[in-house]
Chain A
Amino acid sequence: MATSGFSETQLTVRHAVMQTCSRFPNTYWQEHDQNEQDPADFHAAMAKDGWLGIALPEPLGGSGLGISEATMMMQTIAESGAGMAGAQSIHANWRVCFGVTEPNAGLDTLRLSTTAAKQQDGSYLVSGQKIWITCAQVAAKMILLARTTPLDQVRKPSEGLSLLCIDLDRSRPGLEMRRIKKMGGRAVDANEVFFDKYVVPAGSDALIGEEGQGFKLILHGMNAERCLLAGEALGLGYAALARAAEYARDRVVFQRPIGMNQGVAHPLADAYMRLEAAKFATYHAARLYDASRTDASIRLDEVGVACNSAKYLAAEAAFAACERAVLAHGGMGYALEFDVERYFRECLVPRIAPVSREMILNYVGEKILGLPRSY
């Protein structure tokens, strides 16, 4: 990756994260992927060096950096060979997981059906189902988005949702979880979580912000999340491309390196340019997001379009790079030990999550091109 144009702080972050990640080579991630084992020691190493608090304000013990730096951190983690598994272990962990997505709502978040019913004594009774909850098996707490006022009693569907920080006490009744077998990122667990009148005790100070205003809080984080995912996709793409180029230089068939064949070289060169272009889109979006916090002239939908575009472009560029990296390896691309099959399995994640490609296209069509909404 070309590093011109990055700030000194971004490059410092990149260098320091690389150092920590260098202790966790590809073989570490191969094993954890194969054994579906949580990368707890990787997470501990990142936590010890203060990386989890990168964007947390300094008075709270963080480093007060922006999404521009956090995106660089996530890219560097993925690029080290840790891939999406490494990145996801930073998103969610033994402290906390996030419970937003539901099987019966999908992208139509406002129609989520998990309820948190407030009782006379101030406690909440949570009922419903969440899905694709990363690290639910190991997390102590969950940030839960649930409906506290029924849909038919609110003025707008975006109201009546609340954000709660709840204990995940697996010994208490009304809480069950089931691990989902999945294509990639197997080191990190993803789960279905079932609540059935699970009690969030009164006085546990669970409510975040105001009751009924939870969706606004989620929206606030969504654009930042797009940037981070874009960074992770880039990291994965650059990692795959580096492996492919290395292999194409070294592998000799017909008495010459296969990279001498333009049929091998050109798709990789094309993938590089796509990654670079997506990189500019990504760090532009991250800068815009950071600047929008102090510059009121930056419109929110401008940030939204930039962040969604970045996620889209980075995911597609990463997919191209990972697929071509497998193909450049020929049969060896199919073997676990060359890592590119793992990257390829993982590179589908940023295409699908946290929002589908189609919804991004809908969004840009509507907000930028002024086309009528189809859904």
Chain B
Amino acid sequence: MSALRILVPIKRVIDYAVKPRVNKTQTGVETAGVKHSMNPFDELSIEESVRIREKKSAPGGVEDICVISAGPTKAQDVLRTAMAMGADRAIHVEVKEGDDLEPLSVAKLLKAAAEQHKSNLVILGKQSIDDDANQTGQMLAGLLGWPQATQASKVEFGEGDSVTVTREVDGGAETLRAKLPLIITTDLRLNEPRYASLPNIMKAKKKPMEKKTLADFGITAERRLKVLGVTEPPARQGGGKVDDVDGMVAKLKELGAI
């Protein structure tokens, strides 16, 4: 089996525990002064890559784990975190704050990166928790012409470059088998990401981080979509009270629910 060269795209997003607020101009959510951290699904991708290496589950071994992130300078924080968790090196593609990339541009960037770095496995989060697009992995597979296994809950390696991926679907589990090169996107039950230990945080400072621009990958950040407006969901209305079961049945009928 080929030695794995894993590319792990990651994104810096508003921390999952923060309650996002719509900005004053109603064009997006407020990001200034808000705590950011790594997209939780991307933590799963890194953890899985590191486990494949540690558990020696791939017969050909893991030659390289490279993390890549496109974003403002602050994106380097999540790249350092990824290297503290066990990635070997990082690529930071500088994109100005506010110049967000659409999933297709990200997929084009990742295609170029995967080709440049001779990756044969790309593990992505199934979606980022900011815009929840859930498109990048699929588009990347399309652009590269590679097979894809999305929302993985288990990844196993067999002989002759074959990879078996279990994914949770409605009512059960689906098992897919494909050959490298391959795109995998991660789902919550795949693993439980580790906390970086202090010695590894210190080592991560010395790991290489390449600084690139979109032009280095021959990409321009063209926009195909226009955000017309972002608004808060309407405030919830209080419920009504019924006296007894008969009252509830009558109410449900009145509302046309039964």
Query: What's the Cα separation between A63 and B199 when bound, in Å?
Result: 6
Q: How far is the CB of A211 from chain B (nearest CB, A)?
A: 34
CB <8 Å contact, A51 and B198 = yes
Query: What's the Cα separation between A16 and B196 when bound, in Å?
Result: 7
Query: What's the Cα separation between A28 and B2 when bound, in Å?
Result: 48
22 residue pairs from A and B, CB less than 8 Å apart: A12-B80, A13-B198, A16-B195, A16-B196, A16-B198, A16-B201, A19-B195, A20-B195, A48-B197, A49-B195, A49-B196, A49-B197, A50-B197, A50-B200, A51-B198, A53-B198, A53-B199, A54-B198, A58-B202, A63-B199, A63-B202, A65-B202
CB <8 Å contact, A50 and B195 = no
Type the 1/0 row for A16-54, where 1 means its CB is closer than 8 Å to any CB of B: 100110000000000000000000000000001111011
Main secondary structure of the interface of B (DSSP, over half): helix
Residue B201 contacts which of A12, A58, A62, A64 (CB distance < 8 angstroms)?
A12
Query: What's the Cα separation between A19 and B201 when bound, in Å?
Result: 13
Query: What's the Cα separation between A58 and B199 when bound, in Å?
Result: 9
Give every chain B residue within 8 A of A13 (Cβ-Cβ).
198
Give every chain B residue within 8 A of A48 (Cβ-Cβ).
197
Nearest A-chain residue to B194, judged by Cβ: A49
Give every chain A residue within 8 A of B199 (Cβ-Cβ).
50, 53, 61-63
Residue of A12, A20, A65 most packed against chain B (CB within 10 A): A12
Give every chain B residue within 8 A of A62 (Cβ-Cβ).
199
Q: How far is the CB of B58 from chain A (nearest CB, A)?
A: 26
Query: What's the Cα separation between A135 and B87 when bound, in Å?
Result: 38
Q: How far is the CB of A50 from chain B (nearest CB, A)?
A: 4
Query: What's the Cα separation between A58 and B198 when bound, in Å?
Result: 12
Give 10 nearest A-B pairs by CB, closest first. A50-B198, A50-B197, A49-B197, A50-B199, A63-B202, A63-B198, A19-B195, A51-B198, A63-B199, A20-B195
Interface residues of A toward B: which range?
Answer: 10 to 19
Give every chain B residue within 8 A of A16 (Cβ-Cβ).
195-196, 198, 201
Give every chain A residue within 8 A of B198 (Cβ-Cβ).
13, 16, 49-51, 53-54, 63
- CB contacts under 8 Å to A, within B191-216, are 195-202
Give every chain A residue within 8 A of B202 (Cβ-Cβ).
58, 63-65
Q: How far is the CB of A347 from chain B (nearest CB, A)?
A: 27
Type the 1/0 row for B70-96, where 1 means its CB is closer than 8 Å to any CB of A: 000000000010000000000000000
Query: What's the Cα separation between A333 and B202 when bound, in Å?
Result: 41
Nearest B-chain residue to A47, judged by Cβ: B197
Give every chain A residue within 8 A of B195 (Cβ-Cβ).
16, 19-20, 49
Q: How far is the CB of B35 from chain A (nearest CB, A)?
A: 10
Query: What's the Cα separation between A62 and B202 when bound, in Å?
Result: 10
Query: What's the Cα separation between A110 and B200 when bound, in Å?
Result: 42
Query: What's the Cα separation between A48 and B198 when bound, in Å?
Result: 9
Give every chain B residue within 8 A of A54 (Cβ-Cβ).
198
- Using A49-B195, A64-B202 as known contacts, list a sample of 19 further A-B pairs with CB atoms less than 8 Å apart, ordered by residue number in A: A12-B80, A12-B201, A13-B198, A16-B195, A16-B198, A20-B195, A48-B197, A49-B196, A49-B198, A51-B198, A53-B198, A53-B199, A54-B198, A62-B199, A63-B198, A63-B199, A63-B201, A63-B202, A65-B202
Give every chain B residue within 8 A of A61 (Cβ-Cβ).
199
Residue of B197, B198, B199 most packed against chain A (CB within 10 A): B198
Query: What's the Cα separation between A48 and B197 when bound, in Å?
Result: 7
Give every chain A residue within 8 A of B201 (Cβ-Cβ).
12, 16, 63
Q: How far is the CB of B194 from chain A (nearest CB, A)?
A: 9
Q: How far is the CB of B77 from chain A (nearest CB, A)?
A: 9
- CB contacts under 8 Å to A, within B155-212, are 195-202
Type the 1/0 row for A220-241, where 1 means its CB is closer than 8 Å to any CB of B: 0000000000000000000000
Give every chain A residue within 8 A of B196 (Cβ-Cβ).
16, 49
Query: What's the Cα separation between A62 and B199 when bound, in Å?
Result: 7
Query: What's the Cα separation between A12 and B203 when bound, in Å?
Result: 13
